[in-house]
Chain A
Amino acid sequence: MTPSPPHDDALLAQRIRSGDRTALGELYDRYASLALATALRVVADRQLAEDLVHDAFVATWQKIERFDPERGSLRAWLLTIVRNRALDRVRGIRASIEVGAADDQSLLRTGANPTWEAAIARRSAAQLRGALEELPSEQREAIELAYFGGRTYREIAVLTGVPLGTANGRLRLALAKLRDALSLTDAAPSGTDEAAP
C-alpha cells in the first residue's frame, strides 16, 4: 500500500473540519483497510476490530477540531486512535468515547516527523515489512510487543525473560536499525546487537 501524500490528508482534514461528510468518506476509503488491519492485529477479533474502526472514524469526524497537523499526519492521528482503543479493549478498559489524553500523548511522541513520513511514503507495506523482517528476531519481537501489544519495556523484559536494560536496548537497536535501513540518516547506532543488562 502506498500512503497518500501528507498534503492530501491535510486538505482532507480541512474539508472534514468544515463539515464535509464526503471527505470523511474519502478518508475512510483511504485508510479503513489499514485501520482494520491495525485493530485486527491487536484484538484478533474481526467483529470487534470493525467496531473499533467504526468508532475511530466517528471520533475523527466528531473531534477533528482537536487534530493538529503540526503534531502529525491525519493518518497517524487516525491510526493512533484505532490502536489506543484496541489496546484499551485488550486491557479490559472500555473504549472511551472521547479522543483522549492518551491519543494526544501518542502524537506528542510521534510528532510531525517529516523524515519518517517521507521514508514511509516512498515504500510499500511489503517493503516496510521487509525492513522489519531484517531485524534480529528478538528486536523485532520487542518492538512488536511494544506497538501491537501495548507493552512497556518493563513488561517486555518480564515477558521475554531478559533484564530491563536488555529489553530497552533491543528497542533502541531495533529503531536505530530501521532508521538506517530506511536511509533516514547516515549515522549508525553504536554498540553491539545485544545491549548489556
Chain B
Amino acid sequence: MTDELRPMDHAAVDELGAAFALGALEPDEARAVAEHLATCQEPHTEVRSLLGAEQVLAMSVEPVQPSAALRDRVMASIERVPQEHAAAAPPRRPAPAEPRERRGWLDWLSPRVARPLAVAAVVALIAVGALGLNLQSQLAERDRALRAVAEALAAGETAFRVDGSAGRGYVVETPGEGAALVVADLAALPADKIYELWLLDAAGTPVAVGTFRPSAGDEVAVVELERDLAGFATFAVTVEASRVDAPTNLDLVMVAPLEPS
C-alpha cells in the first residue's frame, strides 16, 4: 500500500491488482499501478488476469426496461447533436461561381479550423452591442463586413469552426482582447429558453461563459465570451431555461473543438 505517490514495486502492484481492476484505488494509486503495468517487463500474470473482471458485475444486473419515451428522447437528441469528429471536419470551401447572395456571410470566412481571422475587425464592423444584428435590412453594412473579413483573414488571430443544429459560425479569439462567438443562421428559440455558452477543459468540466437570445429575424449574432480560450478544449452551446452553472442537458446545439488544425 502506498500513502504517497511514487513508483510502485512489483509486490505493491500485485497486492493492489484486484482493487485496480475494480476501480477501487485512489486516483494516484490507480495512476501508479497503470504506469507500472504499462512499462514493467514482469508478467504480473495474476493482476492482468483480473483486468476486465468488473464486466461480470456490469453484466450481472437484471435488465430494466426503459420507458418508451426514452428511446424517442435519445433519437431526437442525436438528431440535434453533431458528432465530435464530424463537427471538426473541415467544411466545404464555397465554390467561387456560387451566387454570393445565396450564401451566409460566414461562408466568406475561413473554411478551415484555425484559419487566421481578425475578430476585432469583424466585430467592429458588424456588431452593434453584444447580441444580434439584423443584416438583412442593412445590406450595405453587410457588404462592408464581408470586405473587412476578407481583409482580416491574414491578420493572425484564430478562429474555430462552430457547427450544430442551432447554427454555424466561429469562435474567434484575439490575444489580449478576449473571444467571441460569431454565428449565423440561428435556430429560433421557444419564448422561455436561452442559449448558454460553455467552455470545457480537457477533463470535460464546463464553465459558463455567457448567455444570449437572438432577436427575431437576426441573421448574425456576435456574443462576447466572458473568458478567453486558454486552458479549454471545447466550446459548446446548450439551450437552457435560465443561466445555470452546469449544463442541464447533453443537447449540444453547437460545438467546436478548440484545437488547431
* Distance between Cα atoms of A154 and B236 in the complex (Å): 38
Would you call B18 and A38 a contact (CB within 8 A)? no
Q: A32-B70, A40-B64, A53-B70 are in contact. Are A62 and B56 (CB under 8 A)?
A: no
* Distance between Cα atoms of A54 and B20 in the complex (Å): 28
| B80 (CB) vs chain A CBs: closest residue | A58
Would you call A100 and B22 a contact (CB within 8 A)? no
Q: Which of A1, A110, A176 contacts B63 (CB 8 A)?
A: A1
Would you call B26 and A111 a contact (CB within 8 A)? no
Chain A 30-62 per-residue mask, 1 if CB under 8 angstroms from chain B, else 0:
001110111011000000001001110111011
Shortest Cβ distance from residue A4 to the other chain B in the assembled complex, whole angstroms? 12
Shortest Cβ distance from residue A142 to the other chain B in the assembled complex, whole angstroms? 9
Question: Number of contact residues on B: which range applies?
Answer: 35 or more
User: Which residues of B are found within 8 Å of A152, using beta-carbon distances?
Assistant: 19, 24-26
Would you call B58 and A83 a contact (CB within 8 A)? yes
* A160 on the B face (CB < 8 A): no
Would you call B66 and A50 a contact (CB within 8 A)? yes
* Distance between Cα atoms of A182 and B249 in the complex (Å): 40
| B30 (CB) vs chain A CBs: closest residue | A105
* A19 on the B face (CB < 8 A): yes
Q: Which of A63, A65, A116 contacts B56 (CB 8 A)?
A: A116
* Distance between Cα atoms of A53 and B250 in the complex (Å): 11
* Distance between Cα atoms of A71 and B261 in the complex (Å): 26
Would you call A58 and B251 a contact (CB within 8 A)? yes
Chain B 31-69 per-residue mask, 1 if CB under 8 angstroms from chain A, else 0:
000100000000000100111111111111111111100
Q: What are 11 pairs between A and B in contact, CB < 8 Å?
A: A36-B70, A54-B73, A62-B78, A97-B238, A106-B23, A111-B51, A128-B59, A150-B23, A151-B24, A171-B19, A175-B50
Given A54-B77, A179-B49, 9 more A-B residue pairs with CB atoms under 8 Å apart are A34-B61, A36-B70, A62-B82, A62-B255, A64-B83, A97-B252, A147-B23, A147-B54, A168-B16
Chain A positions near chain B (C-beta within 8 angstroms): 1, 3, 17, 19, 21, 24-25, 28-29, 32-34, 36-38, 40-41, 50, 53-55, 57-59, 61-66, 72, 76, 79, 83, 94, 96-101, 105-106, 108-111, 113, 115-117, 120, 125, 128-129, 131-132, 143-144, 146-148, 150-154, 156, 164-165, 168, 171-172, 174-176, 178-179, 182, 184-185, 187, 189
